[in-house]
């Protein structure tokens, strides 16, 4: 496998050619009575203010224990759920989703109801609920079998399953609730475990991501590490026990570094220096010459003509150095001198190292999505549209090979361009559309607010109108985030303030 990507060594190689044939995977899978709906909604399937206020009044009355209000409230929820379904079938986009984070304070009675009501009011029919981020999981503290602490650790709330509650209350309103998870970013709490040190990704400078990412809380793991795979696999299984409507994998990449370090130009920039990644890289060698040169290249960052000569002398019975992707006639020895062969060998070793790092991400996606696939639950991958580019002689440090993600997964490109208008956002989405295989479901994520520009981005309406020309290729969009739509409410919920 991975048989052709180095055959054009004398010309500049565009990034995608790294993966014309994919490495052999090293996954762990074997082991592991109402008015017509048109009168009830406005453009974008949003509810008119009168309907919003009626529902909120009933929610508050029901919260006070008034049985009649509770019945009327539930009936109204069902009615509006039906109206939302009908509206979305005839309105682009068919899928309009919003990203949501919950807090420990949200266990208070009525809070999840209010959040989900507001989501329906804005015409959304899907919710991307954050269930694993910053090294914490949205599972009950008392029955959390994972290696990460629970988000909610409030005394007396140890048994509250807010994830299951959110899924249930979302569905009552006609919403599909996806579980949104960080992936190779395991969070700072994972770094505190002495028994997981080998699972942490390291570059050639001896650094972990805690020292190269600004906020110091992002811990990226070695995607080849067996323990990290098992830990994450168990986490996914536990989340799926709540039967969300889908799974979203975010942070499917390596750390994003700043300044000149944002471009990987040498081996020490790559996250190849943890035991499992190195062991897997050495296994890509197909003879002793290949293995020896890979080791020398990894240790120094280059090979010399002297290295090539020494390897030839050590293994005279072998032909050219071989590793996965380096295809030469069996037993053939080059007539070129070691000095003449050195530039090509060094270039091919660099391409091998980059491709190996990226393949780790692809393998990890396969493992992470496997439990959902087994249960028939849709899975999506979240990525930056520019995360897989070459930059000069180097590569974007995130090494995010999204154009090799399977077409069976939903693609969620983050179209977060900030150029003051829609042009850069449209360009980001166009790039993804141009590289996706036919049939891939693409749901761009947009950042912004309804009715106003924010952070140098146009309103959500303006962004959506600009993307509408790509229908029917685009059947959905998502909006980041609920906290942007309701900033005061989000802040109040963080600190359990009531109004």
* Confidence at residue 100, expressed as pLDDT on a 0 to 100 scale: 98
Q: Tell me the C-alpha distance between 285 and 288, whole Å.
A: 7
Average confidence (pLDDT) over 462-482: 97
Provide the sign of the torsion angle of the four alpha carbons 458, 464, 469, 475, taken in this order.
positive
Q: Tell me the C-alpha distance between 426 and 433, whole Å.
A: 10
* Confidence at residue 215, expressed as pLDDT on a 0 to 100 scale: 81
* Confidence at residue 12, expressed as pLDDT on a 0 to 100 scale: 40
> What is the per-residue pLDDT across 422-441, written as a single tens digit (0 to 9) for each?
999 999 999 999 999 999 99
Q: Which residues contact 340 (CB under 8 A, 6 or more apart)?
A: none
Check pLDDT > 70 for residue 153: yes
* Percent helix, strand and coil across the chain, each to the nearest 5: 45, 15, 40
3-class SS at 316? coil
* Confidence at residue 369, expressed as pLDDT on a 0 to 100 scale: 98
Q: Give 252-287 as a 3 state SS string.
A: CCCCCCCHHHHEECCHHHCCCCCHHHHHHHHCCECC
Nearest to 345 by CA among 385, 311, 318: 311
Lowest mean pLDDT among 35-39, 217-221, 232-236, 286-290: 35-39
Nearest to 270 by CA among 316, 311, 319, 220: 220
How large is the C-alpha radius of gyration of the chain?
Answer: 26
**Residue 10: is it exposed, middle or buried by C-beta count within 10 angstroms (0-12/13-18/19+)?**
exposed
Q: Tell me the C-alpha distance between 128 and 101, whole Å.
A: 9
* Confidence at residue 416, expressed as pLDDT on a 0 to 100 scale: 97
Query: What pTM does this model have?
Result: 0.92
Q: How many CB atoms lie within 10 A of CB 371?
A: 22
| H or E, element range at 476 | strand 476-480
Check pLDDT > 80 for residue 458: yes
Strand order in the sheet with 390-391: 263-264, 394-396, 390-391
Q: Given pLDDT bands bounded at 50, 70 and 90, which one contains residue 331? A: low
Nearest to 148 by CA among 68, 232, 85: 232
Q: Tell me the C-alpha distance between 280 and 28, whole Å.
A: 13
Average confidence (pLDDT) over 372-387: 97
* Confidence at residue 203, expressed as pLDDT on a 0 to 100 scale: 96
Percent of the chain with pLDDT over 90: 86
| H or E, element range at 226 | helix 226-240
Check pLDDT > 50 for residue 89: yes
Check pLDDT > 70 for residue 55: yes
Q: Tell me the C-alpha distance between 257 and 274, whole Å.
A: 19
* Confidence at residue 330, expressed as pLDDT on a 0 to 100 scale: 63
HSE-CB for 314 with a 13 A CA cutoff:
15
> What is the per-residue pLDDT across 299-317, written as a single tens digit (0 to 9) for each?
999 999 999 999 999 999 9
* Confidence at residue 22, expressed as pLDDT on a 0 to 100 scale: 38
* Pair 120, 47: CB distance under 8 Å: yes
Q: Give 122-180 as a 3 state SS string.
A: CCCCEEEEEEEECCEECCCHHHCCCCCCECCCCCCCCCCCHHHHHHHHHHHCCCEEEEE
Average confidence (pLDDT) over 147-175: 97
Q: Tell me the C-alpha distance between 32 and 482, whole Å.
A: 35
Q: Which residues contact 268 (CB under 8 A, 6 or more apart)?
A: 203, 204, 205, 301
Q: Tell me the C-alpha distance between 451 and 430, whole Å.
A: 24
Specify the long-range contacts of residues 53-58, CB closer than 8 Å, at least 24 apart: 55/80, 55/117, 55/121, 56/114, 56/117
Q: What is the DSSP string of 323-352?
A: BTT----TT---SS-HHHHHHHHHHHHHHH
> What is the per-residue pLDDT across 177-209, written as a single tens digit (0 to 9) for each?
999 999 999 999 999 999 999 999 999 999 999
Average confidence (pLDDT) over 464-492: 96
Q: Given pLDDT bands bounded at 50, 70 and 90, which one contains residue 4? A: very low
3-class SS at 66? coil
Check pLDDT > 60 for residue 15: no
Q: Return the structure tokens found at 186.
A: 């395991």
Average confidence (pLDDT) over 145-159: 97
* Confidence at residue 35, expressed as pLDDT on a 0 to 100 scale: 39
* Confidence at residue 334, expressed as pLDDT on a 0 to 100 scale: 78
Q: Return the structure tokens found at 376.
A: 């028939």
* Pair 51, 80: CB distance under 8 Å: yes
Q: Return the structure tokens found at 102.
A: 């919950």
> What is the per-residue pLDDT across 95-134, written as a single tens digit (0 to 9) for each?
999 999 999 999 999 999 999 999 999 999 999 999 999 9
């Amino acid at each position: 496998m991975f048989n052709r990507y180095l055959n054009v060594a004398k010309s500049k190689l565009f990034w995608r050619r790294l993966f014309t044939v994919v490495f052999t995977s090293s996954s762990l899978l074997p082991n592991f009575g109402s008015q017509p709906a048109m009168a009830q909604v406005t453009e974008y399937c949003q509810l008119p203010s009168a309907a919003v206020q009626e529902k909120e009044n009933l929610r508050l009355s029901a919260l006070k224990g008034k049985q009649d209000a509770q019945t009327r409230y539930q009936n109204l929820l069902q009615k509006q759920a039906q109206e939302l379904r009908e509206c979305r079938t005839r309105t682009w986009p068919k899928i309009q989703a919003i990203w949501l984070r919950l807090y420990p304070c949200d266990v208070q009675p009525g809070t999840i109801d209010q959040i989900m009501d507001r989501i329906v009011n804005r015409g959304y029919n899907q919710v991307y609920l954050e269930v694993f981020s910053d090294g914490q999981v949205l599972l009950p503290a008392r029955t959390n079998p994972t290696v990460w602490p629970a988000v909610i650790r409030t005394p007396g709330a140890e048994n509250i399953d807010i994830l299951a509650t959110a899924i249930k209350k979302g569905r009552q309103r006609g919403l599909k609730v996806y579980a949104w998870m960080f992936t190779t970013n395991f969070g700072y709490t994972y770094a505190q475990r002495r028994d997981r040190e080998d699972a942490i990704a390291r570059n050639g400078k001896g650094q972990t991501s805690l020292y190269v990412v600004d906020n110091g809380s992002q811990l990226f793991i070695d995607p080849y590490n067996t323990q990290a795979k098992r830990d994450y696999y168990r986490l996914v299984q536990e989340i799926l026990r709540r039967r969300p409507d889908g799974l979203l994998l975010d942070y499917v990449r390596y750390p994003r570094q700043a300044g000149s370090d944002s471009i990987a130009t040498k081996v020490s920039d790559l996250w190849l220096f943890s035991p499992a990644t190195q062991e897997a890289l050495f296994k890509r060698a197909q003879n002793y010459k290949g293995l020896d040169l890979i080791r020398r290249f990894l240790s120094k960052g280059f090979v010399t003509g002297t290295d090539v000569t020494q390897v030839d002398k050590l293994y005279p019975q072998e032909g050219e150095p071989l590793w996965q992707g380096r295809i030469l006639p069996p037993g053939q020895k080059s007539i070129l001198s070691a000095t003449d062969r050195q530039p090509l060998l060094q270039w091919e070793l660099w391409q091998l190292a980059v491709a190996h790092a990226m393949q780790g991400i692809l393998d990890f996606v396969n493992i992470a999505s496997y439990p959902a696939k087994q249960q028939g639950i849709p899975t999506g991958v979240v990525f930056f549209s520019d995360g897989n580019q070459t930059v000069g002689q180097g590569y974007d440090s995130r090494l995010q090979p999204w154009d090799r993600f399977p077409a069976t997964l939903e693609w969620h490109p983050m179209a977060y361009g900030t150029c003051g208008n829609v042009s850069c956002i449209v360009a980001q989405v166009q790039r993804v559309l141009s590289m996706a295989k036919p049939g891939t479901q693409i749901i761009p994520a947009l950042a912004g607010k309804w009715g106003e520009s924010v952070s140098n981005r146009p309103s959500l309406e303006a962004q959506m109108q600009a993307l509408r020309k790509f229908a029917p290729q685009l059947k959905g969009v998502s909006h980041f985030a609920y906290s942007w739509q309701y900033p005061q409410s989000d802040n109040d919920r963080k600190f359990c303030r009531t109004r």
